[in-house]
Chains A and B, each alone.
Chain A
Amino acid sequence: MKPFAYHQPDQIPDAAKLLTSIEDSKLVAGGMTLIPTLKQRLANPPALVDLSRLGNLKGITDDGATITIGAMTPHAVVAASKLVQAKIPGLAALASMIGDPAVRSRGTIGGSVANNDPAADYPAGVLGLGAAIVTSTREIAADKFFLGLFETALETGEIITAIRFPVPLRAGYTKFKAPASRYALVGVFVAKFADGVRVAVTGAGPGVFRVPPMEAALSENFDPSAIAAIKIDNDGLTSDIHAEADYRAHLVTVMAKRAVDAALS
């Protein structure tokens, strides 16, 4: 790692000011993506702004029709939360599948969502549930937040404080893991609401995306058989050392069927 200055502000406005005043400075939450990136010198920020001392960014609250998860809440806490398990078991299951136990101790929901890795798990849950990303300045709908490979709607100095999830009637997540990294080769989140179904896919392309034909079919009949014949277009999907686009497209259908199964169980 190249040397960097380290700031540990205890107020969000102070953190925002540091971010805007020090060019190329970066926020660090759990560091599960940022630290490996620094070690490989893929990023050389002059300063890191640590979010761990900002109050009120940890914890899960029940708001009735929604639940709100603080940005600095680690994956292990979401996975073990009785509230999340009761209200959105698919989301607790998703959190329990991220990385490994040590990664889940440190990695945070805010960090994962802000980073928007194309194979991360949380973006599928956030988009699949149509969550709201609450930041230091505004609220952003998931549909407008994820803009493709590591790109989000966040502006410089804008800090995610929480994610607010609508409670669905049913939801499920399944992923096919890349065995070494445990990232999703393909992961699919399915959520059923009173007014329809949402299907979000991670790992398959340069960013998380929805699958309208599957959403329409599942809104008619929420059963794996309803989407068995729907295969998404290979165009724009990722081909790499782990899998060709064609195989990823195939996995989307398989994982989506299993996610519906998981939502029904």
Chain B
Amino acid sequence: MQISFTLNGRPTTVDVEPATLVAELLREQLNLTGTHIGCDTSQCGACVVHLDGLPVKSCTLLAPALDGATLLTIEGLQGAPGSNQMHPMQEAFREHHGLQCGFCTPGMLMTAIALAAEKPDLTESDVRHGLEGNICRCTGYQNIVVSVMAGAAAMNAAKGE
């Protein structure tokens, strides 16, 4: 079947088998390999993308659900529009060493950005609960939480400008 959607700001039309997962479509058909498949059972969160602004697990989403929707993947993140800057949340992860091997990072970033956008005054407890569906096997989460707090503050500051 043919589906049309907005992918990272660009209109996109693809032919897919209905039994295609969005994570597969992105990685194998559209060559966007930044979205990672960790567990393939909707537990680990490495595959989180934004569907119409909401965080979803792309390994548990059928491609037909994209038709008419807006999809944002890790590749679509940017700082100031048109610039070559990283997104403030990405900057915060770099600054605060919020990753070690980096496998979970795309999903962490997408979840963190949605969390910060939903709730401007994030507490540490909000962050820890909000990352419930994202598993990291390296960091012990401490620096991820620090990064998300800093990234959320930077997103708020950028919004205020």
Cβ contact within 8 Å between A101 and B41: no
Which one, B41, B51, B133, contacts A100 given CB within 8 A?
B133
Cβ contacts under 8 Å, B17 to chain A? 3
Number of interface residues of B (CB under 8 A): 29
Is B61 part of the binding interface, using a Cβ–Cβ cutoff of 8 Å? Answer: yes
Least CB distance from B54 to A in Å reads: 4
Cβ contact within 8 Å between B57 and A103: yes
Is A28 part of the binding interface, using a Cβ–Cβ cutoff of 8 Å? Answer: yes
Indicate with 1 or 0, residue by residue over A79-108, a CB within 8 angstroms of chain B CB atoms: 000000000000000000001111101100
Cβ contacts under 8 Å, B98 to chain A? none
Is A210 part of the binding interface, using a Cβ–Cβ cutoff of 8 Å? Answer: no
Cβ contact within 8 Å between A39 and B133: no
Cβ contacts under 8 Å, B42 to chain A? 32, 35-36, 102-103
Cβ contacts under 8 Å, A36 to chain B? 41-42, 60
Indicate with 1 or 0, residue by residue over B24-61, a CB within 8 angstroms of chain A CB atoms: 00000000000000001111010010010011110011
Given contacts A3-B18, A4-B18, A180-B43, A99 and B60 within 8 Å (CB-CB): no
- Bound-state CA distance A182–B45 (Å) is 14
- Bound-state CA distance A34–B65 (Å) is 14
3 residue pairs, one from A and one from B, having the closest CB atoms: A100-B133, A6-B18, A105-B54
> Which residues of B does A touch, CB under 8 Å?
1, 17-19, 21, 40-43, 45, 48, 51, 54-57, 60-62, 64-65, 67, 111, 114-115, 130, 132-134
Question: Would you give 8 A-B contacts (Cβ < 8 Å), ordered by A?
Answer: A4-B18, A6-B64, A32-B60, A36-B42, A38-B19, A100-B45, A103-B57, A106-B60
Known A6-B62, A102-B57, A105-B56; 12 more pairs at CB < 8 Å: A3-B18, A6-B1, A8-B64, A28-B62, A38-B19, A39-B41, A48-B62, A76-B54, A100-B134, A101-B132, A102-B55, A102-B111
